[in-house]
Amino acid sequence: MKQVLLLHALLLYAATGGFAAIIKVHAAANSIHQAIEQAHSGDTLLLQQGFYREHDILVSKKLTITGQGLPVIDGENKYQVFIIAADSVLIQGLQIQHIGKGSVIDMAGIKIINAKCVTIRNNRFINNTYGVYLQNSNRCYIVNNTIHSDTKGEINGGNGIHAWKCEGLGIKGNSISGHRDGIYFEFVTHSYIADNTSFENARYGLHFMFSHNDRYAQNTFMDNGAGVAVMYSRGVVMYDNAFNHNWGDASYGLLLKEITDSKIEHNRFIKNTVGIHMESTTRVDVRHNLFSENGWGVRVQASCSGSNFVENNFIGNSFDVTTNGTMMLNVFNHNYWDKYDGYDLDKNNVGDVSYYPVSVYSVITEKIPPAMILYHSLLTNIMEQVEKVMPSIIPDMLKDDQPMMKKLKL
C-alpha cells in the first residue's frame, strides 16, 4: 500500500510538470542548438515566430518541439535540418524549407534514425529534397503535414515521405506534391496510410517495395508521373482510394508487381492510362472497384494467377481488360460492363451470355504495339464487331460468365 501511494505521488509530480520545463526559443544564431543542449529529456521547446538559419539539429533527447506562428527553419539549399535519434520526440507547427541535396547522404527536412514513437505533425515542408525520412524507426506518426517541392524531374528530387525498414508507421492526412515519389516504403511492415493526397509527383504517388502487411485507405493519388506502384509485397490492403488522372505514355493508376495475398477494394480508378496493371501477382482480390474512363481498365499479364475480379464496375474505358497471352488463371465474375450487350431472359439481373472483356484490337496491339496506329480506324471497328459475333483471336478463357445487367452500387 505504501509503495502504491509513493507511486501515485511520483506520477502526480510528473503530471504537474515538475520535471518538464517549457523553454521559449527566439530566432538567433544557433538558438535551437543551444536550447536543445540545455533542455532535459521531457522538456518542451517553444519556437517563436521567426526565421531560423540552422542546420543539422540533432535531437537526442525526448523533446517536444512546437512552433508558434509557423517559425521558418531554413536549410539554405545546402544542409539538412532535424535529425531525430531519440524516442517519443514530437515536432509540430514548423515550416522547414530549402534542404540541400547531397550525393553521399540523403538530406531531409526531418530525419528519424533508430527512434521509436516519434510524431511529426502539422508542419510545412517546402522545397526539400526529402521531406520526412525514416530509417529503422518503429511506430512513428506523420500526421497532417504539407510537403511540397518545386523540383521537377525524377533524378533531382527526393521523396516526400521516405521510410526504410520500419514497422507500425501511421501516415495520415498529409498533402504531398512535386517530389520524386510522394510516399516511399521499403521494408516497412504493419503500417497504415490514410487520408493522404499525393499529386503531381515526378514518379509515383506511392511506392511500395518489399513492404508486407500494410494497409492504405482513403488516399487520393492524382496526376502523378507514373501513378502508384506496389511491388514485391504481400498482404497489402488497398481500400477506398482514388486514383485519378494518372495520364501519360508510361503512367498507371496502380501498378502491381509480384504481389501476393492482397486486397483491392472500393477504390476508384478514373481517367488513368491504365487503371490497374498486374504482373506476376498471386491471389489478389479485386472487389467493388470502379474503373471509369481509363485507356485500359485492367491489364492482367498472363503471369498472374489466382486473382478474383468480382463485382466491379467498368464504365467508359477504351479497353476494359487486356492480357498478353491466352492463358488466364484469374476469375472474372459478377462485374458490370457498360459494353455488354447480352440479354437477361429470366430477369435475375445477371446476363445470360458470357461477356468477353478483351477486345480483339487490344489483343493485336498488346502483341504488336505499332498496330496502335490504326486506332479508331473503320477497319478495327469492323473487326471488333466481327469478333463479338465469332470469337477467334481473343483469349476465350478470359470471360465473365455472370455479367451484371445493371451498374453495381459500390
The answer to whether the CB of 148 falls within 8 A of the CB of 126 is: yes
Among 30, 60, 349, 381, contact with another protein (rule: CB under 8 A): 381
Among 373, 385, 392, 406, contact with another protein (rule: CB under 8 A): 373
Among 368, 389, 392, 406, contact with another protein (rule: CB under 8 A): 368
Our CB check for another protein shows the closer of 46 and 374 to be 374
Which residues, 6+ apart, have CB-to-CB distance to 328 below 8 Å?
A: 300, 302, 395, 397, 398
The nearest distance, CB 364 to another protein, in angstroms, is: 8
Among 350, 374, 393, 397, contact with another protein (rule: CB under 8 A): 374
The nearest distance, CB 63 to another protein, in angstroms, is: 49
**Pairwise CA distance, residues 335 & 287, whole Å:** 9
Q: Which stretch binds another protein (CB under 8 A): 82-90, 205-213, 244-252, 261-269?
A: 244-252
Cell digits for 245? 488522372
The nearest distance, CB 271 to another protein, in angstroms, is: 8
The nearest distance, CB 273 to another protein, in angstroms, is: 5
Our CB check for another protein shows the closer of 83 and 360 to be 360
Which residues, 6+ apart, have CB-to-CB distance to 399 below 8 Å?
A: 332, 354, 355, 356, 357
Cell digits for 344? 437477361
Stretch 277-306 residues interacting with another protein (CB under 8 A)? 293, 295-296
**Pairwise CA distance, residues 249 & 269, whole Å:** 17
Q: Which stretch binds another protein (CB under 8 A): 214-222, 332-340, 363-371, 396-404?
A: 363-371
Among 378, 389, 390, 409, contact with another protein (rule: CB under 8 A): 378
Stretch 246-265 residues interacting with another protein (CB under 8 A)? 247-249, 251
Query: What does the buried/exposed string (b/e) look like for 281-319 if buried means 16 or more CB atoms within 10 Å of the residue's CB?
Result: bbbbbbbbbbbbebbbbbbbbbbbeebebbbbbbbebeb
Residue 235 in the binding site for another protein (CB under 8 A):
no
Among 376, 385, 389, 390, contact with another protein (rule: CB under 8 A): 376
Residue 392 in the binding site for another protein (CB under 8 A):
no
Cell digits for 200? 503531381
Our CB check for another protein shows the closer of 51 and 375 to be 375
Rounded to 10 degrees, the C-alpha dihedral 110/115/120/126 comes to 10
Stretch 317-356 residues interacting with another protein (CB under 8 A)? 318
Among 9, 15, 28, 382, contact with another protein (rule: CB under 8 A): 382
Residue 386 in the binding site for another protein (CB under 8 A):
no
Our CB check for another protein shows the closer of 71 and 357 to be 357
Binding mask 15-54 for another protein (x = CB under 8 A): ----------------------------------------
The nearest distance, CB 297 to another protein, in angstroms, is: 12
The nearest distance, CB 154 to another protein, in angstroms, is: 17
Q: Which stretch binds another protein (CB under 8 A): 81-89, 124-132, 227-235, 245-253?
A: 245-253
Q: 130 vs 44, 104, 143, 189, CA distance in Å? A: 26, 14, 16, 21
Our CB check for another protein shows the closer of 235 and 248 to be 248
Tell me which residues touch another protein (CB under 8 A).
247-249, 251, 273, 293, 295-296, 318, 364-365, 367-382
